[in-house]
Structure 1
Amino acid sequence: MVDISGHLGMTLLWLAPTWLVFDQTKPAATFVLAGLPFGLGPDLDLVFSRLFRTIRHHGIFHTVLAVTVLATIVGPVVGTLLERVVGGSDWFRIEETRDSYRFGFFAVWIAGLSHIFADMLSAPDIAQAVEPFWPLYFESISFDLVWYNAAWFNWGLLAAGIFVNVGLFVYKRDSSQIAAVTNSD
């Protein structure tokens, strides 16, 4: 289990390949920024555990199933909101509604999966282990690479996530400028 900075860093790392998928930088930036808050999604169990005693941290919310259900429900809402707010601009060039749904789904899904993976790196120090493939596989999966709340690890993940995304942004921006100059000759 890592803290918020570590989860955001891992989310940035998992969303970073977006820069290589999109042709332009602004839609890639929109995807990364839209997905970033959902890297904290599985920790909704901390809120719900206060309301319902049967919900535990690293339980059902920390599964691929729960993240997929969340992305299926919330993702289209995210895509629709983006389409309404920045649709038609350079930041969000989606032609069809189903594509905006897909955009939102993948932003939420990838971010949520990154959270589960980050928790697998450090659980079960003081938190319960993660069972990411429940109900298909009932065993916990943990790599136990780092102690919970290790500041160097959490801040290092955040720094790495920012560094990789900024680096890919610069690379993508520079390569598209070179292509524009080459095409104009």
Structure 2
Amino acid sequence: MVDVLGHLGMALIWLAPAWYFIERRKTAAVFVGLGFWFGMLPDVDLYLSNWFAGIHHHGVFHTVLVVTLLSLVFGPLLGWVFTKVNNQTDLFTDRAARHAYEMGVIAVWVAGLSHLFADMLSAPDASTRIEPLWPLVKGPVIYMDLLWYKSFWATTALFLLGAGINVVAWFWKSEQPNAREPGAVSE
């Protein structure tokens, strides 16, 4: 388990392919900028364990199943935020605006899965092993043991790498007029 900054960095890394698939760079920036916060979603178990018996850290909330279910709940809410941002700024293309709710689900899901992957990278001897494929596969799937538990350097490096990839993507993604949209202009 990396620290908070490392989880956010991993979410930035996993959301970076959006720059390739989303037509406008400002839309991609909104998608990544609002979506990466959900890289901490599985750690909601840290708070829920205070109120509910049987919930523990790295338990059921650290599974693909629960991340998928949570993305189906919180994703449409993020999609609603996307539509509100678009209504005030017109950052989204017509096509992206029509799919704002789906984009929200994808952003939450990818960021949540990145959390599970980051936990699989860290030392299993200092933390509870996660069972990401529960209930299909009981027990841990694989642990790479590449990062020390709450390593300052690994956490900082993940965040800087994720931020760096997205900054490079911002400059890589040029705004081109889209022939399908009347009145589209480049920046």
Q: TM-score, normalised by structure 1?
A: 0.89
> What is the distance in 1 between the residues matched to 2:66 and 2:75?
13
- Which residue of the partner structure matches residue 40 of structure 1? 40
- Which residue of the partner structure matches residue 60 of structure 1? 60
Is 1:147 the counterpart of 2:148 in the alignment?
Answer: yes
Q: Deviations over 1:104-133 (max 9, x none)?
A: 100100000000000000141321001000
> What is the distance in 2 between the residues matched to 1:51 and 1:61?
15
Consecutive aligned runs of 4 or more in structure 1 exceeding 4 Å deviation: 94-98
Contact 1:87–1:93, Cα closer than 8 Å, also in 2: no
**1:38, distance to aligned residue in structure 2 (A):** 0.4
**1:177, distance to aligned residue in structure 2 (A):** 6.0
Contact 2:23–2:93, Cα closer than 8 Å, also in 1: no
Q: Which stretch of structure 1 is more off in the superposition, 153-162 or 50-59?
A: 50-59
> What is the distance in 2 between the residues matched to 1:44 and 1:85?
26
Contact 2:63–2:132, Cα closer than 8 Å, also in 1: yes
Q: CA RMSD in A?
A: 2.3
**1:86, distance to aligned residue in structure 2 (A):** 2.4
> What is the distance in 2 between the residues matched to 1:65 and 1:91?
32
- Which residue of the partner structure matches residue 157 of structure 1? 158
Equivalences for residues 56-95 of structure 1 within 5 A: 56-87=56-87, 89-95=89-95
**1:44, distance to aligned residue in structure 2 (A):** 0.1
**1:95, distance to aligned residue in structure 2 (A):** 4.7
> What is the distance in 2 between the residues matched to 1:106 and 1:94?
18
Instruction: Count residues with an aligned counterpart.
Output: 179
Contact 1:122–1:143, Cα closer than 8 Å, also in 2: yes
- Which residue of the partner structure matches residue 166 of structure 1? 167
Unaligned stretches of 5+ in structure 1?
Answer: 180-185
> What is the distance in 2 between the residues matched to 1:123 and 1:138?
20
Rate the CA distance shift 1:76–1:130 in 2: closer, same or farther, 3 A: same
Letter in 1 for 2:169: L
Contact 1:8–1:36, Cα closer than 8 Å, also in 2: yes
Unaligned stretches of 5+ in structure 2?
Answer: 179-187
- Identical pairs, percent: 46
Contact 1:7–1:115, Cα closer than 8 Å, also in 2: yes
Contact 1:46–1:57, Cα closer than 8 Å, also in 2: yes
**1:53, distance to aligned residue in structure 2 (A):** 2.7
Contact 1:123–1:129, Cα closer than 8 Å, also in 2: no
Rate the CA distance shift 1:32–1:8 in 2: closer, same or farther, 3 A: same
Contact 2:85–2:91, Cα closer than 8 Å, also in 1: no
Tell me the secondary structure at the aligned position of residue 92 of structure 1. Answer: coil
